[in-house]
């Protein structure tokens, strides 16, 4: 079963409409699979993540993003998160007294 399917995705930065950062990206992640996206600085990793979460800094000019059977290409970030797709910082800031496990459990309760 396809969990995430990205079809022919083209993305530009909000402040530079002349340059596509993602150019016809295709990606399929099936349920139960683990994928790692790696590449040098400037290769589009963060752009891809931000595009999947409808960051206003990036504009999808073509293509689609399907998550768990739902087209999230133009959905709001909060609706995408409530569907179960979210992004974390690589090195999140520590909050004294709050463990990552507690934070995630609380976030999950918020979407039910």
Please, are residues 22 and 51 in contact by the beta-carbon 8 Å criterion? yes
Whether 59 has a pLDDT exceeding 80, the answer reads: yes
Q: How far is CA 44 from CA 13, 58, 82, 94, 98, in A?
A: 11, 11, 25, 27, 32
Q: How many helices (H) and strands (E) does the chain have?
A: 3, 4
Average of per-residue pLDDT across 65-83:
93
pLDDT at 11 over 70: yes
Per-residue confidence (pLDDT) for residue 111, from 0 to 100: 67
- Res 9 pLDDT > 90: yes
Closest CA to 47 of 55, 80, 39: 55
d(CA 46, CA 41): 9
Per-residue confidence at 112, pLDDT binned at 50, 70, 90? low
């Amino acid at each position: 079963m396809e969990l995430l399917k990205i079809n022919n995705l083209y993305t530009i930065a909000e402040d530079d409409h002349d340059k596509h950062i993602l150019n016809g990206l295709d990606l399929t992640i099936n349920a139960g699979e683990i994928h790692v996206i790696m590449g040098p600085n400037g290769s589009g990793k963060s752009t891809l993540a931000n595009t999947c979460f409808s960051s206003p800094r990036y504009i999808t000019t073509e293509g689609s993003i399907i998550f768990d059977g739902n087209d999230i290409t133009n959905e709001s970030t909060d609706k995408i998160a409530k569907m179960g797709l979210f992004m974390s910082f690589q090195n999140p800031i520590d909050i004294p007294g709050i463990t990552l496990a507690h934070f995630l459990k609380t976030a999950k309760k918020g979407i039910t």
